Structure 1
């Protein structure tokens, strides 16, 4: 059974997945950022920081240019803070701040707990137990991931350092030539010949042996082709969320002139967009302000910092 057929069985919504042409790969747009947490400012180290961006879209554009995985935006301060790694659901690096909303490329922050961030690249889960390639592929799919993409220098080098740090010599990654001998494709169906970067070890890829269809990454930052039946550790990459979202009233509320009007706006937003606000409620710290203590909120030293 091909891996594409396996994906169709395990993930029915992937019915449109197919071997892509290079033109399709080039037309792909990176996943959008989605609201992850409202009224919260991350204390993570930034990879870019600007106080001159007036709109959400300009902040998002900066995050894309810097390959950020998350960002904070405060329209009143025109403040945009871009992060190389996203915060997890139970992160202690958030500061309650009604001026900022936090956006991430990942829709489910609760899924990030078991993953390691490679800054400006993605979130990865190293499985140290050994499985053959097909079973490893299946495990990744079931946790909302794919076998890791290594088709760039920054990815190959970053992931090689990750497995070396964990004491693993080599792992299965998302590349094989099962569909057509000698034509390597990523776990998502993108042909290797669409990119210029290569990291083959000397005398690789070995394609004369038809059983050698699956690619591993080693600690020497090299790719090797091995028998897919070998049981090896493997590296999953969390799939970034790609949602058709528009700018909601959550951000629009911040442009209102007074705190009282902002609070009223947030209340209306929660009624109109319960699903979007489900994971983005203002922290409990702010709930008592909704009972008339707006002046205290205005005097809080951390507001708008």
Structure 2
């Protein structure tokens, strides 16, 4: 049986497209602290029947961390009452009942989807016997080493100017990450705003390398992300006037930078620029795990 040439090419293209447009794998939340709750800003809060349901709530809300309590009745926080007498406990309960649930969601909802995770300093953690804290970042960076963009991720703006390839390697080595994924309106806006707040030296172009570069693939040139996804996998574009440029001197070396004007520009990859790293999610660092529940078991 002879295959129609056009049909064969169509089928090959489907296979190639799928190989470069793979669905993002489900991200894993790691248990970091038991009997502790983060006071990071909440995106969403709900009552759920299981931890798995709370994971789904957090994923849907694009949360980077969560608090979960297996106690649907949300009994009293034992840490709060361990040194109080019975009258103090009763007065505290009465005060809480008079407050609106929006003022104290931890008293009414057992699943909290959080905008940002805790840093390695865990500054906004509190002891709470009812809750456990989970994060996508099992090995969180130091607080002065990143900027959290709510519902997006953790980023570093590096003002030291480097070539694209060097910037890529430094993100991997120093940040446990890669050049920042840029291909969405929310990401482009957020990363552009990060640049707007950065200190550019006089004469420096107000732009920075991100994770998108032009490369030859199957005989034709395509833009690829650090995750080996083709730009054609995404609908969003933010090219500035006259871009992208992929011909002439840029035919084999065209890398992308985001500007403070919320646009993308193609740049010779050998040009030195500031760059933005995105920190990868990570498995649990066992040394950071804390079981505060031991307070009540010993």
TM-score by length of 1: 0.72
Alpha-carbon separation, structure 2, partners of 1:45 and 1:282: 23
**Counterpart-to-counterpart distance in 2, 1:276 and 1:175:** 30
Quote the Cα distance in structure 2 between the aligned partners of 1:39 and 1:99: 6
Q: Distance in 1 between matches of 2:253 and 2:285?
A: 46
The answer to whether the 8 A contact 2:255-2:269 is kept is yes
8 A Cα contact 2:179 2:276, kept in partner: yes
* Alpha-carbon offset, residue 34 of structure 1: 1.2
Superposition pairs of residues 256-271 of structure 1, within 5 angstroms: none
Change (3 A) 1:23 1:119: same
- Say yes or no: does 1:229 pair with 2:270: yes
SS in 1 for 2:171: helix
In the other structure, the counterpart of 1:84 is 115
Residue 213 of structure 1 corresponds to 254
The structure 2 residue matched to 1:68, chosen from 63, 69, 84, is 63
CA contact (8 A) 2:32 2:290 kept: no
> Is the 2:35–2:132 Cα contact (8 Å) retained in structure 1?
yes
RMSD: 2.1
1:173 aligns with 2:210: yes
- What is the aligned partner in structure 1 of residue 165 from structure 2? 134
Are the structure 2 counterparts of residues 165 and 49 from structure 1 closer, same or farther at C-alpha, using a change threshold of 3 Å?
A: same
Partner residue in 2 for 1:200:
239
- Higher Rg: 2
Match of 2:5 in 1: none
Residue number in structure 2 paired with 1:56: 51
SS at match of 2:215: coil
Q: Mind listing any 5+ residue stretches in structure 2 that lack a counterpart?
A: 1-15, 73-108, 201-205
Task: Give the match for residue 33 of structure 1.
Answer: 29
Could you state the TM-score of these two structures normalised by the residue count of structure 2? 0.74
Residue number in structure 1 paired with 2:38: 42
CA distance in 2, matches of 1:287, 1:40: 12
Following TM superposition, by how much is the alpha carbon of 1:28 offset from its aligned partner in structure 2, in angstroms?
2.6
CA distance in 2, matches of 1:167, 1:198: 26
Shift of 1:277: 6.0
Q: Who is 1:93 aligned against?
A: 124
Give distance in 1, aligned partners of 2:291 and 2:28. 22
Instruction: Tell me which moved more, 133-142 or 95-104.
Output: 95-104
Partner of 1:280: 289
Instruction: State how many pairs are aligned.
Output: 237
Match of 2:145 among 92, 114, 118: 114
Aligned residue among 124, 135, 138 for 2:155: 124
Query: In 1, are the aligned partners of 2:243 and 2:266 still within 8 Å (CA)?
Result: yes
